[in-house]
Structure 1
Amino acid sequence: MVKYIMKSLQCTEEVTSPTYALVNEYEIPKGKVYHMDLYRIKDEDELLNMGIEEYWESADYNFIEWPDIAQDFFAEGQYATQTETLERHKGGNKLSIGIPKEIYEDENRIALTPNSIRAIIGHGHKVIVESGAGEKSHYTDYNYSEAGAQVTESRKEVYSCDVIVKIAPPTMEELSFFKPNQVLLSSLLLPRMNEPYMRALKSRKIIAIAMEYLPGEDGTYPVVRIMSEIAGMSAIYTAGELLSAGDGGRGVLLGGISGVPPAKIVILGAGVVGEFATKTALAMGASVRIFDNDVSKLMRLQSIVGRHLHTSTFNPVYLAYQLLSADVLIAAVHSKSGRVPILVTEEMVSKMKPGSVIMDISMDQGGCVETSEITSHRNPTFIKHDVIHYGVPNIPSKVPRTASAAISNILTPMVLRMADQGSIESLLYDNKNIRLGVYSYKGCITNKYLANRFGLGYQDINLLLASKM
């Protein structure tokens, strides 16, 4: 231990044991150091004879081994060793984080809210927000400025930051602002990906992380789950609005009233979207039917809700029968591999009641209703066979403030961990879950599906990090 202390005191001499010499003396820039070993001292007289008092009364450093024999010479605790465990700080790098304005028409959310900005600024980092970035989520430039962010009109200045955090992936124009080894944290949105876009990512050598592919400690995907919760709840609220006579609906109240039966809602899919759609519909007093081919999901849903539910597997005949009297169809089927199957044919739709509503939440995977088409928040519906169709793929953007706060709560800890680790490379090396979200790394495509789909070379992110690339 003394050797390490002497090194920190900038001692250039060789440090040896004073067992036989009793006292070793060293020169340091700030004076002298006396290193004593009292193991061979038998009594206090020997201490006085060796001049112990002169050493202790000097203004120099005194390091004593085996001090028990001299305990009567100083006050209790005066020369006692105090052991303290210090926190090891891995990084301490100060990051600059850029938040650009979303330019896609249907994207109303923002990745980091003012409350999260306060936390990031409080850790000593710099945040630059493009003017107007939070307007669609009802966060003003003033809110961000008060939180400590720098608000700028210059998009180029925002994209000069170390880390770019946004909801939608950048456009080809926005990619031109990126520099090598810059970190992009955004959603991936597979339907918008194409070969020129992926080649642009490669050529810019961007480290791109898809937020929806970041798993939590429990194996679930927190961004996907929280957006699915919002989509399930919003689907029921929106369907209730569309059923009103003012929107061309049947003029039916979801929950009904005393003496009048409630609306009947058919839900396809018992995943997270289906779960929250079911909870919301039941809370509003609607009559619900749930379909899913995974019986364990149906059992789980009944257990969560805590009551008996009308459930079934995807039997086409029984599904068609239920749709004949349905007021609302919520299509919330998800596929792990590509497009979702068509479960509701055009013939089934044509036999539904006039003014009924179809909410196809599977539109980002092609839709599971044959008559569905992609719509936007500006023009969310169209009518076919006298049935109102809603095909907006980005339903959470309908409630952007809630959705933004939810995403921000998930991303903020990751941004702070990135700084604490010292670099994005260290963060990826130490965190397997975050590595799973990386699809482009310094000129390499690290997502096997994207590499195969566009005929680009695939590189394993684990090997790249191990090679210190």
Structure 2
Amino acid sequence: MRIGIPREIKNNENRVALTPAGADALVRRGHEVIIQQGAGRGSGFSDDEYVIGGAHIASTAEETWGRAEMVVKVKEPIRAEYGFLRDDLLLFAYLHLAADSDLTGALVAAGTTAVAYETVQTADRTLPLLAPMSEVAGRLSIVAGSNALLSAAGGRGQLLGGVAGTPRAKVLVIGGGVAGEHAAANAIGLGADVTVVDIALPRLRQLEARFGSALTTRTSTPYEIAEQIRVADLVIGSVLVPGAAAPRLVTDEMVATMKPGSVLVDIAIDQGGCFQGSRPTTYDAPTFRVHESIFYCVANMPGAVPHTSTRALSNATLPYVTAIADLGWDAAAECDPALARGLNVRSGVITNEEVRASQPI
């Protein structure tokens, strides 16, 4: 199979969908790998390294997309790339279609077979291709949030761990999944007073078993979230419903009760965000104010640490890319129900129920 790896062009997106080692593995199996010139530079990979791995270097995006039978990306195509979509192409990437009606419409109109990393789901409901980036985003959320809390950044001037004789910052994590767990771990490591809110008692028990008395847990209800929001210095929104738009759990009325200069980081922004006032931002202008609080809603947070996140992502996706390349989509999906759940759009039809409910095109 001919596999195309374009250069990512979303704002401050420095990841690449395949490492040179991944290209080498695919070439050894008889596949042709086409890498757009400079695609790996942001992650520390030169064109020469891909050539050593047996890949071909394409000089333009048009050539990369045009020669490929399967395009593997990190982030969803943006409007400048819609013209590359076609009916004999398989696209494998993070898509987040529930929050993106324009891209959904473009994929439907083009007849592209679109497979989303974030909806590949195993029988035990884990998300193997979302998990590595959730780990990165969870950890980054505390870094970004603590920076936004600095008075120089407009925040309330609160150090997460405080020092002797001063209060620790109160960090509220809404959603105890992979991203939430890693956010809590980083916040606890920095000495913050951390509370995690989740709807699933078994998950809260798992978190308490891991962190012990360093963590407080609460069952998620609107009342409980409102109470915790009121006293929080930093709020991390990490709620996920696979494939569907994120539920808006934090209202503007709740935000209005928060301390001036408090910070809210919305990890769920790719799926529409879990704060009512959320809107996607970029690393060029990552924050904005809602009432007297600061919102941080960068839609591709892991793109800021590509040396870590590219390797983590490629480690997870390569077995699935290999299966599709070896067998073709139909046979690969038949062999692996988890991969089959990744299909979002095919032949002009939205196939994922959650996406269809969010984007009734």
Identify the TM-score tier after normalising by the shorter chain. Answer: 0.7 to 0.9
Cα deviation code 1:107-154 (max 9, x no counterpart): 332111122122223333321111122233343333333433222213
Q: 2:147 matched to which residue of 1?
A: 241
Cα deviation code 1:75-124 (max 9, x no counterpart): xxxxxxxxxxxxxxxxxxxx321111122225332111122122223333
Question: For residues 367 and 179 of structure 1, do their structure 2 counterparts lie closer, same or farther at Cα, with a shift above 3 Å needed?
Answer: closer
Which has the bigger relative contact order, CA under 8 A and spacing at least 6? 2
Question: For residues 420 and 309 of structure 1, do their structure 2 counterparts lie closer, same or farther at Cα, with a shift above 3 Å needed?
Answer: same
- Residue 234 (structure 1) shift: 0.8
Q: 2:69 matched to which residue of 1?
A: 162
Q: Distance in 2 between matches of 1:443 and 1:264?
A: 48
TM-score with structure 2 setting the length: 0.87
Q: 1:287 matched to which residue of 2?
A: 193
Letter in 1 for 2:108: R
Q: 1:140 matched to which residue of 2?
A: 46
* 1:170-181 matches, cutoff 5 A: 170-171=77-78, 174-177=81-84, 180-181=87-88
Answering whether residue 330 of structure 2 is matched by residue 425 of structure 1, we say yes
Contact 1:428–1:434 under 8 Å retained in 2: yes
Q: Distance in 2 between matches of 1:336 and 1:118?
A: 32
Question: For residues 135 and 182 of structure 1, do their structure 2 counterparts lie closer, same or farther at Cα, with a shift above 3 Å needed?
Answer: same
Q: Tell me the number of residue pairs that the alignment of Structure 1 and Structure 2 aligns.
A: 358
Cα deviation code 1:226-248 (max 9, x no counterpart): 22211111111111212223322
Q: Distance in 2 between matches of 1:391 and 1:280?
A: 19
Q: Distance in 2 between matches of 1:455 and 1:267?
A: 32
Q: 2:298 matched to which residue of 1?
A: 392
Q: 1:200 matched to which residue of 2?
A: 109
Letter in 2 for 1:254: L
* 1:276-315 matches, cutoff 5 A: 276-307=182-213, 309-315=215-221
Q: Distance in 2 between matches of 1:197 and 1:169?
A: 12
Answering whether residue 131 of structure 2 is matched by residue 221 of structure 1, we say no
Contact 2:119–2:243 under 8 Å retained in 1: no
Question: For residues 201 and 447 of structure 1, do their structure 2 counterparts lie closer, same or farther at Cα, with a shift above 3 Å needed?
Answer: farther
Question: For residues 260 and 394 of structure 1, do their structure 2 counterparts lie closer, same or farther at Cα, with a shift above 3 Å needed?
Answer: same
Contact 2:149–2:262 under 8 Å retained in 1: yes
Q: 2:259 matched to which residue of 1?
A: 353
Contact 2:132–2:316 under 8 Å retained in 1: no
Question: For residues 386 and 409 of structure 1, do their structure 2 counterparts lie closer, same or farther at Cα, with a shift above 3 Å needed?
Answer: same
- Residue 185 (structure 1) shift: 1.4
- Residue 166 (structure 1) shift: 0.9
Contact 1:168–1:189 under 8 Å retained in 2: no
Cα deviation code 1:351-392 (max 9, x no counterpart): 322222111223234433333333222100123333222122
- Residue 316 (structure 1) shift: 4.8
Q: Distance in 2 between matches of 1:179 and 1:294?
A: 42
Secondary structure in structure 1 of the residue aligned to 2:187: helix
- Residue 187 (structure 1) shift: 2.1
Question: For residues 348 and 409 of structure 1, do their structure 2 counterparts lie closer, same or farther at Cα, with a shift above 3 Å needed?
Answer: same
- Residue 296 (structure 1) shift: 2.3
Answering whether residue 343 of structure 2 is matched by residue 438 of structure 1, we say yes
Question: For residues 130 and 431 of structure 1, do their structure 2 counterparts lie closer, same or farther at Cα, with a shift above 3 Å needed?
Answer: same
Q: 1:460 matched to which residue of 2?
A: none
Q: Distance in 1 between matches of 2:94 and 2:243?
A: 18
Q: 2:17 matched to which residue of 1?
A: 111
Match among 273, 297, 306 for residue 367 of structure 1: 273
Q: 1:48 matched to which residue of 2?
A: none
Contact 1:181–1:442 under 8 Å retained in 2: no
Letter in 2 for 1:211: Y
Answering whether residue 286 of structure 2 is matched by residue 380 of structure 1, we say yes
Q: 2:180 matched to which residue of 1?
A: 274
Name whichever structure is richer in helix by fraction. 2
Question: For residues 369 and 396 of structure 1, do their structure 2 counterparts lie closer, same or farther at Cα, with a shift above 3 Å needed?
Answer: same
Contact 1:186–1:210 under 8 Å retained in 2: yes
Q: Distance in 2 between matches of 1:131 and 1:378?
A: 24
Letter in 1 for 2:235: L
TM-score with structure 1 setting the length: 0.68
Gaps of 5+ in 2: none
- Residue 302 (structure 1) shift: 0.8
- Residue 419 (structure 1) shift: 4.1
Match among 161, 185, 204 for residue 255 of structure 1: 161
Q: 1:128 matched to which residue of 2?
A: 34
Secondary structure in structure 1 of the residue aligned to 2:130: helix
Answering whether residue 308 of structure 2 is matched by residue 402 of structure 1, we say yes
Contact 2:173–2:180 under 8 Å retained in 1: yes
